[in-house]
Amino acid sequence: MDAATQKPENVASAPVAVAPAIHIAPAPHLFGGVLTTRRMMVDVLLALVPVLVASLWMFRLYTVLQLAICMVSALVAETVFTKMRGRRPTLGDGSAVVTGAILAFSLPATAPWYVGFIGAFVAIGLGKIVFGGLGQNIFNPAMVGRAFVLIAFPVAMGASAYVAPTAGLDGLTQATPLTALKMLGQSTGLLPLFLGTTNGSLGETSALACLIGGLYLCARRTASWEIPAAAILAVAAISGLLGVLGPRTGWTLFHDLSGGAFLFGAFYIATDPVSSPLTPKGKWMFGAGFGALVMLIRRMSGYPEGVMFAVLIMNALVPLINRWAIPTPVGGPVPVKKTA
Amino acid sequence: MKNSYIGQAWLVVVLSLCFGAALAAVQTTLQPRIEQNKLADTIGQIPKLVPGAAGGELQRVGDQVAYRAMDASGQQVGWVLAAAGQGFADRIELLIGMDAAAARITGLYVLDQKETPGLGNKIVDDAFCAKFQGRATEPVLVVTKHAPQADREIEGITGATISSESVVGIVNAAVAKFREAPKP
Amino acid sequence: MSQDGPTPLERFINGILPENPVYRQILGMCPTLAVTNSMEGALTMAGAVAFVLICSNVLISLIRGLLKPHLRILVFTLTIATFVTIADRVLAAYMYEMSKQLGPYVPLIIVNCIIICRCEVCASKQGLRAALTDAVGQALGFTLGLASIATVREILGSGTWFGRWLGWRVIPEAAPQHWSPWVVMVLPPGAFITLGLLMGAVNWFAARKAK
Amino acid sequence: MIATVPGKQGSGRFARGVHPPERKGFAAEAPIEVLPNPPQVAIPLLQHTGAPCEPLVKVKDEVALGQKIGEGKGFITAPVHASVAGTVAMPSVTTLPNGRHVRTIPIKTGPTQLSAEELKANLFGGDWPVSGLDSQAPEQIAQAAREAGLVGLGGAAFPTHVKLTRNEKRPVDTVLLNGCECEPYLTSDYRLMIEFPRPIITGALLAARATGAAQIIIAVEDNKPAAVEALRRAADGTGVEVRVMETRYPMGGERQVIPAALDREVPTGGLPLDVGVVVINVGTAAALAAAVLRGRALTHRVVSVTGAGIAQPKNLLVPVGVSYRGLIDFCGGLKPDAARVIAGGPMMGFALNDLNVTVTKGTSGIVVLTHEDLKQIEETTCVRCGRCVDVCPLHLVPTRLALASRYQDWDMARRYHLMACCECGCCAYVCPAAIPLVQLMRMGKAQLPNE
């Protein structure tokens, strides 16, 4: 072979033809590939299965109806709004379905149809699309939707909404544990709180179901374990302290942990990657702040439960937390070059 | 002259004088009407709060503002008491109608409130205010979560326990104080 | 003092849409957000603003030759404050209900940037005719902005349109499981959301038209 | 000053990093074969980090194997040598895998050459002394390394004599031989450690003699027990210690292997020298022994030709300057489903669009991936999941750095320590949204200093 044979026109006749389509791309050439955005969303849906089972057991058809309304509305909203922006529809990534499901699980069983419908449209439209779509939103979309309908329809969403005397299920005729505590000073037993045989939003009643699904999410690393861990520690610490300072009859820190939407929020909502901090340190701060705010709102405000507002407030703080929690690289910060 | 303060500011001075005069004129012309509007806002409620009353006049009782409710012949038929206190969101201002002996409530009117719309602001509804009609002023009223079984029980607004309790509390406090006070 | 620029007619039209104070200049946000939960409040406010705007524009235009540059803002403020006080008193005397509802927002017209902005950019430099048409155009544009927001908010928030004056019910009352008015629309957040969405819509149409 | 306690041992681990599939099986059991001499080689005049060389020969000159044909000016440079005996042809310009255009000196292979056995024996075989090396003066070792054109064979191709030159202000206490070979697929170092551990040990001792280091450690990942065994046997009684590291990418990086083996942290922007360590690849150590004791210039190196897209994966001892095509042809050519040819490992190597580029001193392997291996997903938007943060071995926030680079927000790039990035590719490897994080950061690193 001489130099001439290295010219490209002879390449085709070479014994090893470059018949395979060789293409180039930047390194790395291998891709972990196990976890895609879509797969993360599927994980969340899988993790919601225990919650769904608990909810079906407790609220029967109300669950199915509410989930159907919210998920379908979320998908329709996603299609409509992405089309308005002239983008490709992004239904395939599953984020709209997840938003719809989380919203549905955070609503009262008997909330009328338009609550879920409008909530889903606001969640997708105002919660996500106006910020630039998936990955750009500041706030958890489902919680934006829920906050909107809570303020828009206080009767259908407030404490009174959970007590539905006309409902066909026994559970629905009692006040939620936190409302009962706040308004009547009545404490609910730990076992019903843990198993979820109490009234409340569709997904929040069973602490057990939230724990099972949440641990699955953390094990899959779809959710960062730091956030729920920090949140649980914060709530336990504050509730324990308050319990020591001024005990409430029959209400312990375990009640605070398993009552209300706390576990549901800590595992499924606060861990939303888009609206939570990036670094482990930031996640600890975020989780602890979330837990502290939940306790603050529960004890000091007019609302019996504070998960939604706690999530939204902490979401707003995320850019700040990200700034505080910039990690120092191994070997220390980049030395500042002295300008010549 | 050109650089003196007056030279610079004469326009401001002249305009101030003109505007001042104009405002004085407007104020003098309209003030009685505005005062009347304000009074009418309260007095106009009196016939609704005290049965048989046709009008009323301001009567301070201690540091409380009250109105004597009169029938057409000028006979006193009751009292209207202005009361205020903290609600769930902000101050609630009430007018409480009572009979001449201040023994029975004859009506309730919410002058001003900023309670949660859809929940707490239901205290302005007739449905809620009417619950106070005919209640004795002693013993004090209490809020319940069910249909009232005793004269002193007022059924609260679902989902607005604090607003309901605030109104009842304001009524109780104001009425108790009014009953104690010597009346002219 | 005349200079090249839009004719009085163009000024009039500009104020209504192309330079709408609410949607294009983003001025006067305080009343826009505070009093637009019903048509009555919005129109009363728009009327008061129109009165102040027209009167001050005319007056400033008349005395524009006498203005000293460093004292002009003081004179503007003085003028505006006077007319605002007059408007406030008149409302209290003849529309007591509305005056009570609008509360501090009528006196707050003094700090409404639309008026001082028009005084500065137009009335203090233009003749009477230009100043008048400009003020009327801006006032109409402001009215349009307030009315559009109030329409959305009152219909969604209360189900009515001109409910207090005319009693028109747009969305029939229904049992809560079928429909319920959106309380959020009556509250301040509703104002922000409506303003944002309408402004987005206006920009969207403008961008489409420009294409 | 970071504590430099001699003998202090690291845990064998570093925090974070990833576990890509190892895929060493393709060529792990293939003994090192000698590539038959190609009809022509093209020696690039820049194969190292530093100043390029100027040619020392003219067209039609006859050159011998190992004859110096290019020499650079300055301290940080390395000469180049003829890798075959033959005749110099017309100089030309070639493009290296990293995209650099460099001048090359082509040499037509002459009729008389060393046989494969002679070459192998000459470079690695025979007896390698492990004692009596004190007779070598430290300066002479460094000088021999320079004359032999020795550069780091791990990939970065940093001139070795620079590392071996003593610096009074920065004493070296440890020579760390890097036998981690953490890149998937590559097996050239592995084969060398198994087949020829003795020149490696001797090279290590020479490096310690040159730098004055008291401690010599060889770091090998725990997925290469045979290499550990072979090295330990060869090192017996020499004071050279073989330490086993956890298998985790990028263990082979200086900033990972030093903390893992010695529990010392190299300061950002600094060198291993700052913590009293000199890191040398095992292949470089063997070449150092050959250079010092046998006067062999760096003309050949071991290259893995491996991957599912190559017909017969092999480890080859090849002359520098041979074309990639020559290696691939010798290994039976590409399979029909071959999709990408990579110079170096799949995590940090460069994809080739032309197989006629030449093997340089820094070429550690040729990896041919198939379409199956490349199952890429489409780039989507970042959902801020933080996976890249979880794996970055330098504890950076890659998503922010990539964003800063993409939108040229240099304040943010500085705030998040862009220049600390080592481009190891862990972040892009795990990114669920398939964002080209490394590419973006590389772009940003190129632009940031000018801002």
Dump pLDDT digits (tens) for B112-146: 787 776 677 788 888 888 888 888 888 888 888 77
pLDDT, averaged across chain B:
84
Q: Residues, chain B, total?
A: 184
List the subunits that have 3+ CB pairs under 8 angstroms with C: A, B
Contact residues on chain B for C85, CB-CB shorter than 8 A:
23, 26
Domain contains B127: yes
Q: Does D19 touch chain A (CB under 8 A)?
A: no
Pull the structure tokens for residue C72.
Answer: 């002009």
Cβ distance of C183 and A154 shorter than 8 Å: yes
Give the Cα separation of D141 and D136 in Å (integer).
Answer: 7
Do D and C touch, 3+ Cβ pairs within 8 Å? The answer is: no
Residue of A29, A139, A218 best to disrupt the D interface, most CBs of D under 10 A: A29
Three-state secondary-structure class, residue B90: coil
Q: Which stretches of chain C drop beneath a pLDDT of 50? A: 1-2
pLDDT digits (tens, 9 = 90+) for D302-346: 999 999 999 999 999 999 999 999 999 999 999 988 889 999 899
Contact across the interface for A154 and B119, Cβ inside 8 Å: yes
| Three-class DSSP labels, D71-134 | EECCCCCCCEECCCCEEECCCEEEECCCCCEEEEEEEEECCCCCCHHHHHHHHCCCCCCCCCHH
The structure tokens listed for A139 are 């706030």
Taking CA–CA distances from A303, the nearest residue in chain B reads B159
pLDDT reported for residue D229? 93
Nearest CA in chain C to A148: C184
Asked whether the beta carbons of A121 and A73 are under 8 A apart, the reply is: yes
Contact A6 D356 (CB under 8 A): yes
| Beta carbons of A151 and C184 less than 8 Å apart | yes
CA distance C196 to chain B (A): 22
**In terms of Cα–Cα distance, which of A105, A124, A113 is closest to A69?**
A113
D342 reaches A (C-beta below 8 A):
yes
Contact list, B113 vs chain C (CB under 8 Å)? none
d(CA D389, CA A277): 11
Task: Give CA separation, A192 vs A52, A104, A207, A262, A286, in Å.
Answer: 17, 22, 9, 15, 29
Region of poorest pLDDT, from A96-105, B137-146, D136-145: B137-146
Residues on chain A touching C159 (C-beta within 8 angstroms): none
Contact D333 A15 (CB under 8 A): yes
Q: Residue C107: helix, strand or coil by DSSP? A: helix
Chain A, nearest residue to B118 by Cα: A154
Look up residue D183 and give its two tokens. 């890149």
Model confidence at A2, in pLDDT bands (50, 70, 90)?
very low
CB contact under 8 A, A24 and D352: yes
* Euclidean distance between CA atoms A210 and A271, whole angstroms: 13
Instruction: Give, rounded to a whole angstrom, the gap between the first and last alpha carbons of chain B.
Output: 65
Instruction: Please determine, for residue D3, whether its predicted confidence score (pLDDT) is greater than 80.
Output: no
Question: How close does chain A come to B88, measured CA to CA in Å?
Answer: 8
Report the 3 state secondary structure along chain D: CCCCCCCCCCCCCCCCCECCCCCHHHCCCCCEEECCCCCEEEEECCCCCCCCEEECCCCCCEECCCCEEEEECCCCCCCEECCCCEEECCCEEEECCCCCEEEEEEEEECCCCCCHHHHHHHHCCCCCCCCCHHHCCHHHHHHHHHHCCCECCCCCCCEHHHHHCCCCCCCCCEEEEEECCCCCCCCHHHHHHHHCHHHHHHHHHHHHHHHCCCEEEEEEECCCHHHHHHHHHHHCCCCEEEEEECCCECCCCHHHHHHHHHCCCCCCCCCHHHHCEEEEEHHHHHHHHHHHHHCCCCCEEEEEEECCCECCCEEEEEECCCEHHHHHHHCCCECCCEEEEEECCCCCCEECCCCCCECCCCCCEEEEEECCCCCCCCCCCCCCCCHHHHHCCCCCCHHHHHHHHHCCCHHHHHHCCHHHCCCCCHHHHHCCCCCCHHHHHHHHHHHHHHC
pLDDT tens-place string over residues C24-58: 888 888 888 888 988 999 999 999 999 999 999 99
Neighbouring residues of C201: CB distance < 8 A, sequence distance ≥ 6: none
CB-CB: which of D89, D268, D434 is closest to A335? Answer: D268
Q: Which residues 182-211 in chain D show a CB within 8 A of chain A?
A: 184
Q: Considering CB atoms only, which of D353, D386, D449 is closest to A22? A: D353
Spell out which residues of chain A touch residue D337, defining contact as CB-CB under 8 Å: 20
Q: Which residue of C has its CA nearest to A114?
A: C179
- A56, exposed or middle or buried, with CB in 10 Å at 0-12, 13-18, 19+? middle
Q: Has residue B36 been placed in a domain?
A: no
Contact indicator for D99, D350 with CB cutoff of 8 Å: yes
Q: Which residue has the higher pLDDT, D378 or D276?
A: D276
Q: State the Cα–Cα distance between residues A128 and A134, nearest whole angstrom.
A: 6
pLDDT at A168: 67
Residue B13's closest chain C neighbor by CA? Answer: C75
Query: Could you tell me if residue B148 is inside a domain?
Result: yes
Report whether D332 contacts D356 (CB < 8 A).
no
| pLDDT-based confidence at residue A183 (cuts at 50, 70, 90) | low
Distance CA A280, CA A266 (A): 16
Dmax (CA) for chain C in angstroms is: 66
Q: Are B128 and B155 in contact (CB under 8 A)?
A: no
pLDDT digits (tens, 9 = 90+) for A195-212: 888 888 888 889 999 999
Confirm if A152 and C189 have CB atoms less than 8 A apart.
no
The answer to whether residue A337 scores a pLDDT higher than 70 is: no
Q: How far apart are CA C195 and CA A246, in angstroms?
A: 46
User: What's the CA gap between D232 and D224, in Å, rounded?
Assistant: 12
Q: Which residues of B touch C (CB under 8 A)?
A: 8-9, 11-12, 15-16, 19, 22-23, 26-27, 30, 33-34, 37-38, 41, 117-118
Q: Do D39 and A1 touch (CB under 8 A)?
A: yes
Determine the structural domain holding residue B162 and report its residue range. 46-180
pLDDT exceeds 90 at position D374: no
pLDDT of residue D40: 92
Residue A236 has pLDDT above 90, yes or no: yes
pLDDT digits (tens, 9 = 90+) for D72-112: 888 889 999 999 999 999 999 988 887 788 999 999 998 88
B163, closest residue in chain A (CA to CA): A302
Are C183 and A148 a contacting pair at CB < 8 A?
A: no
Write out the two tokens for C21.
């104070």
Q: Is residue B154 in some structural domain?
A: yes
| D160-188: average pLDDT | 91
Does pLDDT of D366 surpass 90? yes
Choose, out of A2, A275, A330, the residue to mutate when testing the contact with D (most D CBs < 10 Å): A330
**D56 shares contact with chain A (CB less than 8 Å):** no
| Parallel, antiparallel or unpaired: strands D350-351 and D53-55 | unpaired
Q: Which of D6, D300, D36, D25 is nearest to D149 (CA)?
A: D300
Q: Which residue, among D268, D373, D392, would best test binding to A if mutated, counting the most A CBs under 10 Å from its CB?
A: D268
> Which range among A194-198, B7-11, B103-107, D27-31 shows the weakest confidence by mean pLDDT?
B7-11
> Quick one: pLDDT at residue B2?
54
Count the domains in chain B.
1
B127's tokens: 């449905």
Q: Give the whole-angstrom CA distance, residue D211 versus residue D142.
A: 9
Predicted pLDDT at B26: 92
Nearest CA-CA distance, residue D229 and chain A, Å: 30
Cα–Cα distance for residue pair A159/A155, rounded to 1 Å: 8
pLDDT on residue A20: 58
Cα–Cα distance, A133 to A127 (Å, whole number): 9
Supply the Cα-derived Rg of chain C in whole angstroms.
18
Choice between B102 and A12, residue whose per-residue pLDDT is larger:
B102
Q: Which subunits count as partners of chain D given 3+ CB pairs below 8 Å?
A: A
The alpha-helical segments, DSSP class H, found in C63-127 are: 72-94, 96-102, 113-118
Instruction: For residue D384, give the chain A residue with the closest CA.
Output: A274
Within a 10 A sphere around the Cβ of B35, how many other Cβ atoms?
Answer: 12
Hey, what are A326's tokens?
Answer: 């910039």
Contact call for D325 and A16, based on CB within 8 A: yes
Q: How far is A154 from chain B (nearest CA, A)?
A: 6
Q: Which element (helix H / strand E) includes A209?
A: helix A207-219
Q: What is the spatial distance between Cα A279 and Cα A272, in angstroms, rounded to a whole number? A: 14
Give the pLDDT band (50/70/90) at residue A6: very low
C 105-124 residues with CB below 8 A of A? none
Helix (H) or strand (E) holding B92: strand B91-99
More confident residue, A95 or A158: A95
Query: Among A132-141, B17-26, C14-23, D281-290, which stretch is predicted with the lowest mean pLDDT?
Result: C14-23
The pLDDT assigned to B55 comes to 79
Say how far apart CA A311 and CA A319 lie, in whole Å. 14
Residue B8 included in any domain: no
Q: Does C192 touch chain A (CB under 8 A)?
A: no
Q: Tell me how far apart the alpha carbons of residues D388 and D382 are, in angstroms, rounded to a whole number.
A: 11
Structure tokens at C135: 């003020």
Residue D20, pLDDT above cutoff 50: yes
Q: pLDDT at position A219, please? A: 92
Query: Which range has the worst mean pLDDT, A121-125, A250-254, D337-341, D409-413?
Result: A250-254
Give contacts of C182 with chain A, Cβ < 8 Å.
Answer: 118, 152-153
Q: Whole-angstrom Cα distance, residue B83 to residue B170?
A: 7
Q: What is the pLDDT of residue D398?
A: 94
pLDDT score for B11 = 85
Q: Which residue of A has its CA nearest to C158?
A: A152
Q: Is B4 inside a domain boundary? A: no
Residue D134 or residue C94, greater confidence: C94
pLDDT-above-70 percentage for chain D = 98
Q: Which tens digit of pLDDT belongs to each residue from D379-424?
A: 888 888 888 999 999 999 999 999 999 999 999 999 999 999 989 9
Surface of C (86-115) touching B: CB under 8 A: 86, 89-90, 92-94, 96, 100
B158 domain residue, yes or no: yes
